[in-house]
Amino acid sequence: MLEPNVLVGELQNLRDDGFLSDALLRHAVKSIKSSDPRFDWVGVYLLKPEENMLWLHNYIGRPTTHAKIPVGEGVCGTAVAEGENVNVPDVGAVDHYLACDPRVKSEMVVLIRGEEIFGQIDIDSRTAAAFTDDDEMALQLIADKLAEQLAAERR
Ligand code: SME
């Protein structure tokens, strides 16, 4: 089970020890992936605003052809375009869904944002309707911690 407060503490420790966002983003993906068997693919996309494009920073799970996703496309790009987290209980019901793995049934996207959108945590599940409001809240705590570091590096 995902314990966001433990992971947020670990991310703060990494910050205190001088690690940059690259280390934090990789640690977060690893910890989230191993926390719950419902999470079959976990990745972080970062937004390149000058290109209006999401770039896959790191992931664990089956390789994907969607390393770059234009803002406004797919579940991921739509989340950025609309500035909202997304919980898709049935990916088959979403016309703009971009498939990575045909076994995936549900998906959650939680934005990493401060004053601007930095990117997102994206999770796929082979379980239908896998994601709950509690998952979204837990992932938001983690995303907010990642945003602190990303914001610090923009200054
Ligand atoms: N399903 C996503 C694409 C990314 S994969 O899930 C890794 C989408 O529709 O944007």
- Spacing, Cα 97 to ligand 1 middle (Å): 7
Tell me: the pLDDT tens digits for 109-125? Answer: 999 999 999 999 999 99
First-to-last C-alpha distance (Å) of the chain: 35
- Kindly report the pTM of this predicted structure: 0.97
Tell me: the pLDDT tens digits for 73-109? Answer: 999 999 999 999 999 999 999 999 999 899 999 999 9
125: burial class by Cβ within 10 Å (0-12, 13-18, 19+)?
Answer: buried
Of 103, 121, 99, 123, whose CA–CA distance to 112 is shortest?
121
The C-alpha angle 54, 87, 77, rounded to 5 degrees, equals 20
- Spacing, Cα 65 to ligand 1 middle (Å): 9
- Spacing, Cα 146 to ligand 1 middle (Å): 20
Ligand 1 atom showing the smallest separation from residue 59 Cα: 7
Q: Are 94 and 73 in contact (CB under 8 A)?
A: no
